[in-house]
Amino acid sequence: MVAPVRDNLKADPLVKKVAEFVLAERLLGRGDKVLAAVSGGQDSLALLHVLWALQGDLDFDLAVASFDHGLRAEAGRADRDFVEETARRLGLAFHGGSAEPAALAVRGLSLEEAARRARYSFLASVARRWGSGPSGPVRVALGHTADDQAETVLMRVIEGTGLDGLGGMPLVREEPGWVVIRPLLRTGRRETESFCRRWGLEPRLDDTNLDVRFRRNFVRHRVLPVLEQYNPRVREALLRLADVAAQEAEVLAEVTRELAGFVRQGRPPEGECPFDGLVVDERDLVYVGKDDLFRLGEGLRSRLLRQMLVGLVGPEILREVGLEGVKRAARAAVELRVGGRLDLPGGVVLEAGYSHVFLARGVRRGQGRGKVADSPKHHWTLTCPGRTEIPELGWAFSLERSTDPSPAAGGLVQDLAAGSLAFPLRARTRRPGDALRPVGLGGTKKLKDLFIDCKIPRAERDNWPVLVDAQDRVVWVVGLRADERFAARPGESDRLRVTAGRLPPRP
């Protein structure tokens, strides 16, 4: 194959059409670095030659990249060699990559999706190595056409999608360190076929494009032909749907960007200690006030949480979470009680605080902030009478018999009915199933619920002292509530006064 003459190509109707399109949409500009992703098929081959024809007039740098998924053995390697030779004929730098088929066997992903991700990862690495130009990051040009867009929209309708999904593939998508552009998104497949025929280009044929086991091929070869019997212009209808949905989504995105002013990142506000027992980098934590979130309708609440997820992990998280996952997160944000959590894909955890809803990624199990293990062996016997210091807890306790006619109760002093206790008394941390009968409540309450009601930060609950007797009955949750079975009553003569106090921090 001989490369066409560049000056002749400039007069081609497709070159003129694409030039008008990229200028109107500002897809390309002077000084840009452009990496053409070329498989060797008719669409990407046409794209490469169109960009080559425009390179001088639009004054951008152009290079070529091709990736072999390894799924077609010799045929895949031959396609990549073909693209390399084409780049050489055009005087362009070439970047080739490949993957072993075994590397695409990613759990939970279809082979089609795994191959797509491997290709994008390769393009990203090439673009970042090339480095930004005077106009910004490298712009990676993909050969998706209007027909690909129609197929994408229909696939998403079939799979179930929201408004953003109906918008199809965006003309421009910014990624960290590179930008995706689609100059042929208003060009039909027949136009690229005619272009290749006019200029004697001989695209490579990929037999896997006929394999209807792949979702896109099934839609292309089976579903769309049936729909065209009902509406011969169904592709145009799908493109109109994509345009309208994209415009509406942009309006909502603008509203969401305004709402994002409520979102904060980094250190939690005073009084909130989320993700107890987990290790979280504050740079990977975002939160929003419950009042701000509750005022929103379900739709805007979902969009705000989507934006928070994308900000934490990137747009790929939405593929893993899905529409239903975002809805579940939106419901959990308003329904979870304090300390309640929802695990999301991508290592993201949502937790409800007292006044905020938190999202964090990269969490890992740990001992939390000053957490003491809650093994039954972790208890401390209190001297009676006398003073007992427990540095591990950071508390001290003084026990003495009291003859004061008015029992002390509340704060860090509690009078107990000595006759109702089984000695010795012990201090320990909470354990699963712990409960008491708080004075004046008239019923049983779990310690978990008591901590929530008393707004004890989650990070402190596993280190909060609980006073129990020799039968391990909860006598007093220090500083919060005593059990009515053990609290001294006015006039009771046999009383034990317990005074608790925090120890100064250890140097």
Dig out the tokens for 341 from the structure.
């959590």
Nearby residues of 27 by Cβ (< 8 Å), 6 or more positions away: 21, 139, 171, 172, 181, 182, 183
Mean pLDDT of the chain: 85
Residue 252: pLDDT band with limits 50, 70, 90: confident
Mean pLDDT, rounded, for 303-323: 78
CATH fold label, 379-502: Phenylalanyl-tRNA Synthetase; Chain B, domain 3 (3.50.40)
SS3 per residue for 486-503: CECCCCCCCEEEEEEEEC
The four Cα atoms 210, 211, 215, 221 give a dihedral, to 10 degrees, of 40
Type and span of the H or E element at 65 = strand 61-68
Residue 86: pLDDT band with limits 50, 70, 90: very high
Residue 199: pLDDT band with limits 50, 70, 90: very high
Measuring CA to CA, how many Å separate 301 from each of 331, 340, 351, 366, 390?
A: 9, 18, 15, 31, 46
pLDDT at 255 (0 to 100): 75
Percent of the chain with pLDDT over 90: 41
Portions of the chain given CATH number 3.30.465.60? 263-365
* Residue of higher predicted confidence among 299 and 222: 222
Distance, CA of 334 to CA of 298 (rounded, Å): 10
Residue 9 near residue 53, CB atoms below 8 Å: yes
Portions of the chain given CATH number 3.50.40.10? 379-502
* Residue of higher predicted confidence among 155 and 176: 155
Summarised one tens digit per residue, pLDDT across range 105-121 is: 555 567 777 788 889 98
Least confident of 43-47, 321-325, 415-419: 321-325
Residue 139: pLDDT band with limits 50, 70, 90: very high
Q: Residue 157 CB: number of other CB atoms within 10 A? A: 14
* CATH class given for the domain over 263-365: alpha beta
Q: Is residue 239 scored above 70 in pLDDT?
A: yes
Residue 369: pLDDT band with limits 50, 70, 90: very low
Summarised one tens digit per residue, pLDDT across range 403-460 is: 776 666 667 999 998 888 888 899 998 887 788 999 877 778 888 888 888 888 877 7
The four Cα atoms 250, 150, 70, 75 give a dihedral, to 10 degrees, of -140
Look at the chain and count its residues. Answer: 507
Summarised one tens digit per residue, pLDDT across range 261-281 is: 788 888 888 778 788 777 777
Least confident of 45-49, 211-215, 239-243, 382-386: 211-215
Domain 6-242 grouped into CATH 3.40.50.620? yes
Is the Cα torsion angle 482, 488, 489, 490 positive or negative in sign? negative
Portions of the chain given CATH number 3.40.50.620? 6-242
pLDDT at 365 (0 to 100): 56
The C-alpha angle with vertex 255 and arms to 253 and 260, in degrees rounded to 5, equals 90
CA 246: distance to chain centroid?
22
Characterize 123-151 residue by residue with b for buried, 16 or more Cβ atoms within 10 angstroms of its Cβ, and e for exposed.
Answer: bbebbeebeeeeeebbbbbbbbbbbbbbb
Residue 309's nearest CA partner among 331, 295, 289, 325 is: 325
DSSP track, 77-129: HHHHHHHHHHHHHTT-EEEEEE--GGGG--TTS-HHHHHHHHHHHHHHHHHHH
Distance, CA of 75 to CA of 86 (rounded, Å): 16
Residue 49's nearest CA partner among 77, 14, 78 is: 14
Nearby residues of 90 by Cβ (< 8 Å), 6 or more positions away: 3, 48, 49, 52, 64
Residue 103's Cβ-side half-sphere holds a number of Cα atoms within 13 Å equal to 13
Measuring CA to CA, how many Å separate 412 from each of 425, 438, 479?
A: 16, 16, 5
In DSSP terms, 173 is beta-bridged to 180
User: Among 143-152, 293-302, 417-426, 463-472, which range has the highest average pLDDT?
Assistant: 143-152
Distance, CA of 12 to CA of 23 (rounded, Å): 17
Is the Cα torsion angle 193, 196, 197, 202 positive or negative in sign? negative
The C-alpha angle with vertex 153 and arms to 150 and 154, in degrees rounded to 5, equals 85
* Residue of higher predicted confidence among 343 and 399: 399
Residue 155's nearest CA partner among 84, 216, 109 is: 216
Residue 344 near residue 313, CB atoms below 8 Å: no
